[in-house]
Amino acid sequence: MTGGVHNEVELLEENFLLEPGLLVRNPQCSDWGVGQVQSIIGTRITVNFENTGKLVVDGSVVALELLSQQQ
C-alpha cells in the first residue's frame, strides 16, 4: 500500500475478514459513525451505521476498519 491508496486486491483481502455482527467504521466517512455488518455478498457489504442507517458498501472500493470482533 502506497500513499494511502489501496488497490483492489488489498481491499478484498482486508474486507475478507468481515462477517455479520462485526463492528466497523468507514475511514473515508467517519461521520457515518460505527456500523454493524449485516451481510456480505461478493464485494457488496451491507452495514447498518449509527448516523446514516443501512448502506451497501462496495468492498472493492472501500476498506472498512474493523473495530470489534464482538457484538
Enter the C-alpha cell of residue 42. 461478493
What pLDDT is recorded for position 10?
58
What pLDDT is recorded for position 15?
76
Please report, to the nearest 10 degrees, the dihedral formed by the alpha carbons of residues 26, 13, 47, 23 taken in order: -70
Q: What is the pLDDT of residues 4-50, one digit of tens each?
A: 455 555 565 677 789 999 999 999 999 999 999 999 999 999 999 99
The domains of the chain are located at 8-68
Enter the C-alpha cell of residue 18. 468481515
Domain 8-68 has CATH 2.160.20.10: no
Element (H, E) at 11: helix 8-15
What pLDDT is recorded for position 17?
82
Over 50: is that where the pLDDT of 3 sits? no
